[in-house]
Amino acid sequence: MKKHILTVDDESEIRELLREILTASGYRVSGASSVVEAMRLVKDDPPDLIITDLQLEESDGFDLVEQAKATAPSIPIIMLTGVLFDPEVIRGPVGEKIAAYVEKTAPLEKVISEVKRQLPA
């Protein structure tokens, strides 16, 4: 059974790119552009992994992390964002509730590598 990944980003092209690469890597992929939509999917079709951007429609990734952890604390979350955090920040307040932080400027290969690390076969 394929593992389920939920990608959350307000930009549809990012979601589409992630869907393509993750599907090609053997995962089942769902997409959401807002926290509300993402949380509905978390409840209806719990994912094995959430990949979220920081900038989301009507809210942000921090909010999603809070809500998702409250609902399903075991689901690992990768924050994939163009907002470049300082490493100290990652180790501190942001890093406490997310499994990994990947910059959007990183190559896709790194994204996939991080996904595989979070979802070992």
Partner 1 sequence: MRVSFLRSLPVRLAGLILLLSGLTLLVLTELNRRAVERILLEQAELQAATATTAVVDGLDAVIGSVERLARFVAKDLDGRTLPPADVEKIARNVLLDSPNVHGCSISFEPRALNAATERFGVYVHRSNAPSRFVTRDLTGPDQTYWTRDWYREALERGQPIWGEPYFDQGGTDHNVVRVAVPFFRTVNEDRVPVGVVAAVIELDWLRRLANVNEFSDTSYTIIFSRSGRLIIHPKTTYVIAETVETLAEKNNTPELTTIRQSILAKRQGALRYSEKLPARRVHVNYKPTKIAGWGVIVGYDEAEFLKTQQAFRGITLAFLGALLALLAGIVILVTRYALRPLGELAVAADEIARKNLDCEIAPPRRDDEVGRLTASFRSMRDALKAQHLERRWSSQSIEHQLRYNQLIIDSVSELVFVLTKALNISRINPVVLRSTGYTETELIRSPLGRLVRLAPAAGEKSAPAAETLAVALKEGRSLQDLPAIITDKHGVETAALLTLVPLRDDNRVVGGVATLRTAPPKPTHL
Dihedral sign from CA coordinates of 87, 91, 96, 99: positive
Of 97 and 104, which CB lies nearer to partner 1 in the complex structure? 104
Q: Are 68 and 38 in contact (CB under 8 A)?
A: yes
Of 44 and 109, which CB lies nearer to partner 1 in the complex structure? 109
* Shortest Å, Cβ 98 to partner 1: 19
Q: Could you tell me whether strands 4-8 and 49-52 are parallel, antiparallel, or unpaired per DSSP bridges?
A: parallel
In the chain, the amino acid numbered 35 is: V
Q: Are 35 and 55 in contact (CB under 8 A)?
A: no
* Shortest Å, Cβ 89 to partner 1: 17
Cα gap 106→30, rounded to integer Å: 22
Segment 92-111, which members bind partner 1 (CB under 8 A)? Answer: 104-105, 107-109, 111
Provide the mask over 60-79, with x wherever binding to partner 1 is found by CB under 8 A and - wherever it is not: --------------------
Provide the mask over 7-46, with x wherever binding to partner 1 is found by CB under 8 A and - wherever it is not: ----x-xx--x--xx--x----------------------
| 3-state class percentages of the chain: helix first, strand second, coil last, to nearest 5 | 45, 25, 30
Q: Helix (H, G, I), strand (E, B), or coil: what is residue 26?
A: coil
Of 22 and 68, which CB lies nearer to partner 1 in the complex structure? 22
In the chain, the amino acid numbered 51 is: I
Binding site for partner 1 (CB under 8 A): 11, 13-14, 17, 20-21, 24, 82-83, 104-105, 107-109, 111
